[in-house]
Every structure is written in structure tokens, then in C-alpha cells.
Structure 1
Amino acid sequence: MYRNILVPTDGSDITAKAVQSAIALARTLGATLTAISVKEPFPYSAISEMQPVPPQEFFDAQERIASARVKTVVEAAQAAGLECAGFTVEASHPWEAVVDMAKDKGCDLIVMASHGRRGVSALLLGSETQKVLTHCQIPVLVIK
């Protein structure tokens, strides 16, 4: 059925629930996991002579945070006896990075969290999960 499951992580509690669901599903199916954490790009529009954080320091911090998130997923998968590759990617739109990673790594399922926005906030802010659902060609399992 599914052989390579992509699981995006942002380090939140709901994402941890999605990671555990992905691990359980992968164990049941004998699938491998691919983990991704999306880094924010440097806000170049904020560049002025008085920068609060130099660009390299910002990039290093983003990489450290994203790597730690991916490492948590990889270690949990390995503890469950699964193969798991982890990646960090910089992107302005996390949903695009998730869809692109699924294509690039030949994933046949995405397991991701829903952040549960409702009403006007969901309408105005949108949802990365909703955008993945809209733009992705492979199945997406949403964990609430």
C-alpha cells in the first residue's frame, strides 16, 4: 500500500501526535518515513542599518531549530525500528515545501497535523494543511 510516508514537523504538540500516528502506520505497513521541517526565510524587507539579528545568525538559528525538530522524528522512528530520513528546507510557503518534498522523495502518503483553525481565522489565515490538500496529488492523512 504505502511505502514512503512524509511527515512534516513544526515541533508543536499536535505535530507530535501526527508523528506518532505516522510511525504507527509505517510500522503496520512496513513503510519508511521521511521527515521535513520548513525553515523561515530571512525577512529581507526588514533590512536596515539597525538589524536586530544579522542574517547569518538568523539562518543558523533557523537551521538549529529545524534540525532539532527533524532529529526528534528520526530518533522516534528509529526507536520504533523504522528507517527515517530527515530534511530541513527553507521556504516562504511551507505547504509548497511539503508538496515538493513528497514529489522529490517519491512519497506516496503525507501524514500531517491540522492546527484546527475555525471560522474567520481559518478563512483569513488559511491553513498549510488545507493548501497541501488542495495542491497535492498524493493522499494526505490529517491528524486532529
Structure 2
Amino acid sequence: MLRAIAHHEQGETGMFRNILIPTDGSPLSGRALDNALNFAHEIGARATILTVMEPFHIFSADTDQLELTRAEYKTHINLVAENILSRAGQEAKTRGVDHITLKLENDDPHLAIIQIAHSQNCDLIAMASHGRRGLSAVLLGSVTSKVLTHSHIPVLVYR
């Protein structure tokens, strides 16, 4: 069972109309996507589904980046992102949720999530408690923790 934690700014009330759902394709992120889409359907909200791709780095511990050229890596991450968003879009369509899908390349996924939430006029961010960020998540703090810390938009966290 997934539990949800909501982070709200003081004094906010009203119904959510546009929910940003960041997803990275991980199983936990997929469960959060399912729950967020069900919530969007129940309240009649639109979903903005986002995946953030990590840019190519010459010096990296990521095996994909070590084994591929810059061009091959770019093609690879775009295919992965398109696959994630295609599946997420199908899930939204199955539930009858009006939605858009977006992909963005950024070294700081938490900043990208907050930026897209503002630019797309989202009034809620619904995301998993963590995803696939490996050792860097332990050392630098999870993307979700950073979104919770820096977002002025309410955040619903699925565990």
C-alpha cells in the first residue's frame, strides 16, 4: 500500500486543476504515476507528465555514458524517455485523464521539476519518494527531498 504525504504552503485551499507527475520509469515511480493519475481522474484534474533526462558527461560513473558516444547516448536517453512517456500517456488515456507529456534534459532534476511546474501552471506536484538516482541520491539527497525543500507548490509524495 502506498502512503501519501502532502506538503502545503500555509493558507492554500481549493481544488487542484493541473497535477505535475514526474516519472523516471522505476517501479516506485510507476506506482506513484498510477496513484496520481487515479487522483487526477477522481478530481477531474489535468496531468502534466514529465521525465527528466541526465545530460551526457565526459567524466561519469554511469555505464551508459561510459560505453556510448555523446550522440549515441543522446539517442539512447531520448528513446528511453519516449518509452517512459508513451507508457505514462497510455495510462492517462486509459483513465480518461487529459494530459500532456514532456521531457527535459537537466543536471538538476529537482530544479527542472519545479521549473516545469511553474511554466505549466501546475498547482500540485505528485511524485514517488525516490527513484533511480543511485549512490548520488544518498550522498546529495533525493530529488524528492529537494523538491519538497524548494517548491512553493504543494507536493504529494507516494511511498
Per the normalisation by structure 1, the TM-score is 0.88
Q: Match of 2:128, as an amino acid?
A: A
**Counterpart secondary structure, 1:66:** helix
What is the RMSD of the two structures over their aligned residues, measured on CA atoms?
Answer: 1.8
1:100 and 2:95 aligned: no
In 2, distance between residues paired with 1:111 and 1:81? 18
Aligned position for 1:115: 130
8 A contact 2:50–2:85 mirrored in 1: yes
Question: Where in structure 2 are the equivalents of 1:72-111 lying within 5 Å?
Answer: 72-111=87-126
- Identify which of 6, 9, 25 aligns with 1:11: 25
**Counterpart secondary structure, 2:47:** strand
**Cα deviation per residue 1:67-116 (whole Å; 9 max; x = unaligned)?**
11111111100011111100110000111111111011000001000129
- Identify which of 122, 133, 144 aligns with 1:129: 144
Aligned position for 1:40: 54
The 1:65/1:23 distance shift into structure 2, 3 A limit, reads: same
- Quote how far apart the aligned CAs of 1:55 are: 1.0
Aligned position for 1:2: 16
The aligned length equals 136
- Quote how far apart the aligned CAs of 1:17 are: 1.0
8 A contact 2:137–2:143 mirrored in 1: no
Quote the sequence identity (%). 40
Aligned position for 2:63: none
The 1:75/1:137 distance shift into structure 2, 3 A limit, reads: same
Q: Match of 1:36, as an amino acid?
A: L
Q: Match of 2:149, as an amino acid?
A: T
**Cα deviation per residue 1:43-82 (whole Å; 9 max; x = unaligned)?**
0346xxxx74221111010111011111111110001111
- Identify which of 27, 43, 57 aligns with 2:72: 57
Bigger relative contact order, structure 1 or 2 (CA pairs below 8 A, ≥6 apart): 2
The 1:122/1:73 distance shift into structure 2, 3 A limit, reads: closer
Could you tell me which runs of 5 or more consecutive residues in structure 1 were left unpaired when the two chains were aligned.
none
Could you tell me which runs of 5 or more consecutive residues in structure 2 were left unpaired when the two chains were aligned.
1-14, 61-65
